[in-house]
A and B are shown apart, each in its own frame.
Chain A
Amino acid sequence: MSAIREDFAEILKLVRPGARVLDIGCEDGELLELLTREKGVDGQGLEISPEGVAAGLARGLAVVQGDGDRDLDHFPSRAFDYAILSKTLQQMREPKHVLSELLRVADQAVVSVPNFGHWKVRWALLSRGRMPETGALPEPWYSTPNIHLCTLRDFTALCDELGLRIDACAALSDGKPARSIDPRQPIENWRAETALFLLSRKADPLAPAPPPQNLFGEMELPKAEPPPKKGRGRRA
Chain B
Amino acid sequence: MTAQGPIKAGIEIGGGTWRFPASQPLRLDSGAKLAPLEIAYKTYGRLNEDRSNAVLVCHALTGDQHLASTHPVTGKPGWWDRFVGPGLPLDPERYFIICTNVVGGCMGTTGPASIDPATKAPYGLTFPVITIGDMVRAQAMLIEAMGIETLFAAIGGSMGGMQVLQWAADYPEKLFSAVVIAAAARHSAQNIAFHEVGRQAIMADPNWVNGAYLTAGVRPEKGLAVARMAAHITYLSEAALQRKFGRELQRDGLSWGFDADFQVESYLRHQGTSFVDRFDANSYLYITRALDYFDLAASHGGVLAEAFTRARHVKFCVLSFSSDWLYPTPESRDIVRALNGAGCRASFAEIQTDKGHDAFFLDEPLLDQTLRGFLAAQSHSRGLA
Using a CB–CB cutoff of 8 Å, the interface residues on chain A facing chain B are 42, 44, 50-51, 53-66, 74-76, 79, 213, 215-216, 219, 221-225, 227, 236
Contact = CB atoms under 8 A, between A and B. Distances in A.
A126 to B, nearest CB: 45
Interface secondary structure of B, over-half rule: helix
Most interface-central of A51, A54, A66, A219 (chain B CB within 10 A): A54
A236 B199 contact: yes
B349 interface: yes
Given A58-B376, A215-B305, A222-B301, 14 more contacts: A44-B345, A50-B351, A57-B349, A57-B377, A59-B373, A60-B380, A61-B347, A62-B347, A76-B340, A215-B341, A219-B305, A222-B303, A223-B301, A236-B196
B241 to A, nearest CB: 24
Interface in B326-384: 333, 336-337, 340-343, 345-352, 366, 369-370, 372-374, 376-378, 380-381
Interface residues on chain B, size class: 35 or more
B348 A58 contact: no
Given A74-B336, A215-B342, A221 B306 contact: yes
Contact of A58 (B298, B346, B352, B373): B373
A75 to B, nearest CB: 5
B159 interface: no
A57 B350 contact: no
Contacts of A56: 347
Given A221-B301, A222-B302, A227-B298, A64 B347 contact: yes
B315 interface: yes
A59 B348 contact: no
Given A58-B376, A60-B377, A60-B381, A65 B345 contact: no
A64 B366 CA distance: 15
B317 interface: yes
A76 B341 contact: yes
Contact of B373 (A55, A74, A215, A221): A55
A74 B377 contact: no
A75 B196 contact: no
A111 B317 CA distance: 28
Given A56-B347, A236-B196, A64 B369 contact: no
B25 to A, nearest CB: 24
Given A57-B374, A64-B347, A219-B341, A51 B366 contact: yes
A62 B346 contact: yes
Interface in B283-317: 285, 289, 298, 301-303, 305-306, 309, 315-317
Nearest to B340: A75
A219 B303 contact: yes
Contacts of A66: 348
B340 A53 contact: no
Contacts of B370: 50, 53-54, 57
Contacts of A227: 298
Contact of B343 (A65, A79, A221): A79
A57 B200 CA distance: 43
Contacts of B374: 57-58
A79 B377 contact: no
29 contacts: A42-B345, A44-B345, A50-B351, A50-B370, A53-B348, A53-B349, A54-B370, A56-B347, A57-B317, A57-B370, A57-B373, A57-B374, A58-B372, A58-B376, A59-B377, A62-B315, A62-B346, A63-B349, A64-B340, A65-B348, A65-B349, A66-B348, A74-B333, A74-B337, A215-B343, A216-B341, A219-B305, A221-B302, A236-B200
